[in-house]
């Protein structure tokens, strides 16, 4: 009797375990089925709200589920990822860096979506982000290459200017040494008839100060051009020779804005002694000079190049300020469009013969 009761007890326990095992397996299948169903629904949402668009040379999947269609515990992270992707797209289309947003989206936001909702379809987000990351790295490489090219160009220009400056300084030292007496000065005048005028100008403010009206354009332009390149860090961009005009445009060597200076010399051929030997033996003398450009460059030139005290206003219409330097009346004007100014240099009512005064013969 006891044996039968023992057998019955063991059989009952084994039956119970088997029944619970079958129930647990059945319940797992129900849960798995629900997960599979949710995945299918969310994949269908992904397909519905994904469009394939052209981005530069690639086609990218843009999955943008409307907020009212996001039924997920990861809603806030899904919205953030979609907004981040839009921001990245905009930045890269403007050739702006986006690596920080890409890294944040890839390492944080996408991970959080899966942490709160493992069934949400994120493959389209990942594919789009991968393409953006590649383009961002290409832009970074291009920017680095451009920056290196600019730096190399600046170094080369600085080397050229430094070399030329040393040569000029050495030349000036030699001139000062040789001009020790009237006889030596006379001999020097034969080699460089402009040496007395140079010496007079060099002692006033800077070694490249010049006069304009009534002097050879090659003399004035050479000295002004040296100042623009050495002191204002400009480069000559364009030169034009027209009838009775010589025009040279300058731009900053490094600038993020559309800055420029344009120097226009109005000329007249004379029988004066030319600064350089010319084919026809004529000397192109400046009758008027106009310097136009952006505000900062024009104002820096007007205030720093000449040594004279400035007078505000003037008797000419639109004249902001002016001063007289030797035979030049130098006036500042504002012109249209905004932020453009002009320096006008004229002989005005003063007639000064530099060729006679400084023995340029």
> With 80 as the cut, is the pLDDT of residue 3 above it?
no
**DSSP bridge pairs for 340:** 294, 335
Q: What is the predicted pLDDT for the residue at 245?
A: 94
Which is higher by pLDDT, 181 or 211?
A: 211
- The pLDDT of 5-15, averaged and rounded, is 55
Q: Is residue 186 part of a domain?
A: no
Q: What is the predicted pLDDT for the residue at 6?
A: 55
Quote the CA–CA distance of 93 and 87 in Å, as a whole number.
10
Q: What is the predicted pLDDT for the residue at 246?
A: 95
Quote the CA–CA distance of 77 and 68 in Å, as a whole number.
14
pLDDT one-digit tens code per residue, 315-338: 888 899 999 998 999 999 998 778
Q: Is residue 183 part of a domain?
A: no
> With 90 as the cut, is the pLDDT of residue 165 above it?
no
Does residue 143 sit in the same domain as residue 109?
yes
* Closest to 50 in 3D by CA, of 65, 68, 66, 39: 65
Helix (H, G, I), strand (E, B) or coil at 15: helix
- Compute how many other C-beta atoms are within 10 angstroms of the C-beta atom of residue 113: 23
Which are the contacts of 342, defined by CB distance < 8 A and separation ≥ 6? 290, 291, 292, 298, 332, 333, 334, 335
pLDDT one-digit tens code per residue, 70-96: 888 989 999 999 999 999 999 899 989
pLDDT one-digit tens code per residue, 17-40: 554 455 456 566 665 666 677 788
Residue identified by tokens 């430094």 is: 162
Q: At what angle do helices 123-178 and 217-230 cross, to 10 degrees?
A: 130
pTM above 0.85, yes or no: no
Q: Measure the CA dihedral 24/25/30/34, to 10°.
A: 100
Which is higher by pLDDT, 177 or 213?
A: 213
- The pLDDT of 123-145, averaged and rounded, is 90
Which is higher by pLDDT, 322 or 192?
A: 322
> With 80 as the cut, is the pLDDT of residue 282 above it?
yes
| pLDDT band at residue 232 using 50, 70 and 90 as cut-offs | very high
The share of the chain scoring above pLDDT 90, in percent, equals: 37
Average per-residue pLDDT for the chain: 83
> With 50 as the cut, is the pLDDT of residue 190 above it?
yes
Does residue 141 sit in the same domain as residue 77?
yes
Q: What is the predicted pLDDT for the residue at 20?
A: 47
Q: Is residue 92 part of a domain?
A: yes
- The pLDDT of 272-298, averaged and rounded, is 89
Does residue 221 sit in the same domain as residue 156?
no
Does residue 215 sit in the same domain as residue 297?
yes
> With 60 as the cut, is the pLDDT of residue 189 above it?
no
Domain count, the chain: 3
> With 90 as the cut, is the pLDDT of residue 1 above it?
no
Which are the contacts of 135, defined by CB distance < 8 A and separation ≥ 6? 55, 56, 58, 92
Contact predicate 314/322, CB 8 Å: yes
- Diameter of the chain measured on Cα atoms: 152
Strand 245-252 relative to strand 261-270: parallel, antiparallel, unpaired? antiparallel
Q: What is the predicted pLDDT for the residue at 183?
A: 47
Q: What is the predicted pLDDT for the residue at 81?
A: 92
**Apex 331 CA angle, 327 and 336, nearest 5:** 145
- The pLDDT of 121-144, averaged and rounded, is 90
> With 60 as the cut, is the pLDDT of residue 7 above it?
no
Q: By mean pLDDT, which of 182-191, 219-228, 273-282, 334-343 is the weakest? A: 182-191
Q: Is residue 172 part of a domain?
A: no
Burial class (CB in 10 A: 0-12, 13-18, 19+), 308: middle
Does residue 133 sit in the same domain as residue 99?
yes
HEC secondary structure over 44-96: HHHHHCEEEEEECCEEEEEECCCHHHCCCCCHHHHHHHHHHHHHHHHHHHCCC
Quote the CA–CA distance of 58 and 132 in Å, as a whole number.
10
Q: By mean pLDDT, which of 140-154, 300-314, 317-331 is the weakest? A: 140-154
Does residue 30 sit in the same domain as residue 78?
no
Phi, psi of 130 (to 5 degrees): -65, -40
Q: What is the predicted pLDDT for the residue at 25?
A: 60
Does residue 66 sit in the same domain as residue 23?
no
Q: Cα dist. 124→63, 74, 82, 100, 132 in Å? A: 6, 16, 11, 20, 12
> With 50 as the cut, is the pLDDT of residue 261 above it?
yes
Does residue 287 sit in the same domain as residue 245?
yes
Q: What is the predicted pLDDT for the residue at 18?
A: 52
**Apex 315 CA angle, 310 and 317, nearest 5:** 105
Contact predicate 64/45, CB 8 Å: no
Q: Is residue 69 part of a domain?
A: yes
Q: Is residue 333 part of a domain?
A: yes
Q: Cα dist. 44→18, 49, 124 in Å? A: 39, 9, 13
Does residue 202 sit in the same domain as residue 336?
yes
Q: Is residue 17 part of a domain?
A: yes
Does residue 135 sit in the same domain as residue 113?
yes
Does residue 278 sit in the same domain as residue 248?
yes
Q: Is residue 178 part of a domain?
A: no
* Closest to 65 in 3D by CA, of 51, 55, 54: 51
Does residue 317 sit in the same domain as residue 297?
yes
Structural domain boundaries, residue 14 = 1-42
Which range has the top average pLDDT, 91-95, 253-257, 330-334, 354-358? 330-334
């Amino acid at each position: 009797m006891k044996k039968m009761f023992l057998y019955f007890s063991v059989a009952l326990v084994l039956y119970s375990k088997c029944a619970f095992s079958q129930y647990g397996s059945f319940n797992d299948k129900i849960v798995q089925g629900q997960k599979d169903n949710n995945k299918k629904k969310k994949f269908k949402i992904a397909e519905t709200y994904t469009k394939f668009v052209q981005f530069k040379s690639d086609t990218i999947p843009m999955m943008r589920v409307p907020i009212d269609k996001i039924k997920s515990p990861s809603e806030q992270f899904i919205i953030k990822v979609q907004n981040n992707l839009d921001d990245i797209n905009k930045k890269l289309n403007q050739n702006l860096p986006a690596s920080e947003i890409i890294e944040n989206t890839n390492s944080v936001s996408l991970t959080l979506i899966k942490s709160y909702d493992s069934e949400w379809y994120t493959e389209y987000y990942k594919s789009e982000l991968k393409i953006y990351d590649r383009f961002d790295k290409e832009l970074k490489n291009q920017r680095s290459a451009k920056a290196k090219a600019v730096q190399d160009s600046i170094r080369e220009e600085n080397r050229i200017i430094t070399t030329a400056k040393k040569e000029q300084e050495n030349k000036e030292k030699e001139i000062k040494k040789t001009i020790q007496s009237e006889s030596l000065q006379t001999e020097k005048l034969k080699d460089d008839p402009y040496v007395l005028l140079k010496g007079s100008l060099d002692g006033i403010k800077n070694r490249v100060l010049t006069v304009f009206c009534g002097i050879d354009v090659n003399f004035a332009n050479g000295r002004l051009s040296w100042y623009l390149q050495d002191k204002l860090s400009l480069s000559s961009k364009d030169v034009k020779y027209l009838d009775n005009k010589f025009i040279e445009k300058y731009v900053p060597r490094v600038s993020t804005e559309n800055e420029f200076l344009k120097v226009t010399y109005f000329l007249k051929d004379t029988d004066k002694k030319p600064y350089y030997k010319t084919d026809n033996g004529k000397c192109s003398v400046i009758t008027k000079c106009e310097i136009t450009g952006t505000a900062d460059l024009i104002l820096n030139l007007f205030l720093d190049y000449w040594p004279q005290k400035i007078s505000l206003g003037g008797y000419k219409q639109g004249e902001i300020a002016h001063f007289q330097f030797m035979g030049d009346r130098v006036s500042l004007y504002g012109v249209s469009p905004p932020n453009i100014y002009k320096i006008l240099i004229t002989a005005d009512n003063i007639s000064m013969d530099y060729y006679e005064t400084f023995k340029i013969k």
